[in-house]
Amino acid sequence: MEVQVQRTTIISHSDPTAVSSEVPLSVFDRFTSNIHIVMLFAFVPPIASNESLIDGLKRTLVHFPALTAQLSDGREHSRRPCLVIGGEGGGALLLEAAVASNLLDHLPFEPSRHFKLLHPLTEEPEHLFQVQLNRFKCGGLVIAMTFHHQVADGQSMSTFFVAWGRAVRGLAIEKPPVFDRSLLKPRSPPKYEFPHRGFEFLPLCPNQDGLSLSERNINPSDIANIVLRYPLEYIAKLKAELNRKYTTFETLSAYLWRKITIARGLAEQEYATIRISVNGRRRLQPPLPDEFFGNVVLVALPGAKVKLLIEGGLSEAAQIVHEGIQKIDDHYFQSFIDFGAIHGDEELQPVYALEGNVLSPAVEADSWLGFEFHKVDFGGGGGRLCGFIPAWVPADGLVVFIPGLGEGGGVDVFVSLIGEHAKVLSQISHTMD
C-alpha cells in the first residue's frame, strides 16, 4: 500500500487567546488505559470532499473542547491529573494523504500491518485527537481516527463521529455532548464497599480472581490479527444451544472465550478469565445520558477453571459471563465513584499498567455493538461505510465485537492473538462443539 501524506494541519480550539481552564480527570478516566485508540472507517465513493470534511470537523470540535485540550499530570495545574482546555498549545492533528491504489483492492477490510500507514503515530503523540484522511485513487476514503483513551471512551467517540457527519451535511448536532462531571456524584458521605485498590488500581491483592501482574512480553511480530465474521443465522444457531436467553454479546463472548482457551491449549486446572468492558451510563441510577463525554467504563471479570469452561459447554460459559457482568451494577459503579471522591488526590495506577503484551490466560472483550459508528453519514452523494475496524494491535488476547456491514448484518469479531493460536482459532472458529 503506497500512502503519501500531502498536508498537515493543526486545528486549534475555538479561541486560543482565552484563559485556560482545568478539568480534573474523573476516577473513570484514570482507570482507563494511557494509550491512543485507533479506528479505521472506509467509505466507498462518492463521498464528501476533504474540504467539506475538514470544515465540518472544525465546526464539530468547537462542541468537543476535550479533544483539542492538553493532558496534564497534575503537577503544575492541580493535585489531580487534568485536561487543560484553552490557552496556548493543544489542538487536533489533521493529515491529508493520497493512496495510489483503489479502495476496492483492499476490501473486504481485513487487519493488516500496513494500517500504520493510514494513521498518525500513536507513540508519544503531541495531540490527544488525530485524524488522517486517506483518499484513494478511485475517490474512496479511509478515515483514521486516533484519540487518547483517558479523554473519551468508545461511546463518547461515537457521539462525536455522528456529530461530525451531521456537520458535514449542514445539520445541527442532534444530541449535543454532555460534559457535566457533577453527574458522577458521590454519596454523602462517600463510602465504598468493594476493594477498588486491588481490583481496578494497584496494589493488587495476591491471587485475587485470577488476576496477575506478572509481566509477559513477546515480539509484536509474533502477534496475528484476524477478523471472524458471524452472520445472524449462525448467531441464532448458537442461541438455540443455550438453556436460557442471553444477549448477542454474552453469547458470542462466551463462545469465543471457549474457542480461544482451546486454541491456546491451556491446562485443565488453569484459571481462565475474560475481562469485559461494562458501560455504566445506563447502569447508574439515575442513568447518565448516552451523550455523556468522557469515560464511564469498568471491567467485569468472569472466570473459571479451564476444565469447567470447556466441558460445561456454551451454556455454562454464557451463564458465567452473564453473572459476571451483572455484578458490575449501579451499586458497584457508585462505590467506584465514592472511592474516587475519597482517594482521588492520591496516586492511582490501573492494575494493567504493569502488564505486558500477553494476556493469556485472560481474554479482554470490548463491545462496539451498541455504538453508532456504522450510522455515520458524510453525504457527498451516497458514499456508504464499507469497512470499520481497529488498527493493528500488537498484543495477545484482545477481542472487539463490531457490527457486521455485510448484506447479512451479523457481527464481525476482531481478534488479536499469538500467531500459532490465531491459526488454530481460525480453524475452529465456526464449529458448534
Count CB neighbours of 218 within 10 A: 15
Q: What is the CA radius of gyration of the chain?
A: 22
Alpha-carbon gap, residue 228 to 225, rounded angstroms: 10
C-alpha cell at 330: 449501579
- Cβ atoms of 414 and 390 within 8 Å: the answer is yes
Catalytic residue at 377? yes
Q: Point out the catalytic residue in the list 377, 396, 412, 421.
A: 377
Burial of 122 (0-12, 13-18, 19+ CB in 10 A): middle
What's the CA dihedral at 141, 146, 152, 155 to 10 degrees?
30
Strand 297-300 and strand 271-279: pairing? antiparallel
C-alpha cell at 150: 483517558
**Which residue in the block uniquely carries the three cell numbers 471512551?**
153
Q: Point out the catalytic residue in the list 36, 149, 322, 421.
A: 149
Strand-pair partners of 93: 10, 130
- Cβ atoms of 107 and 73 within 8 Å: the answer is no
Q: What is the 3-state secondary structure (H, E, C) of 85-99?
A: ECCCCCCEEEEEEEE
- Cβ atoms of 38 and 117 within 8 Å: the answer is no
What residues are annotated to the active site?
149, 377
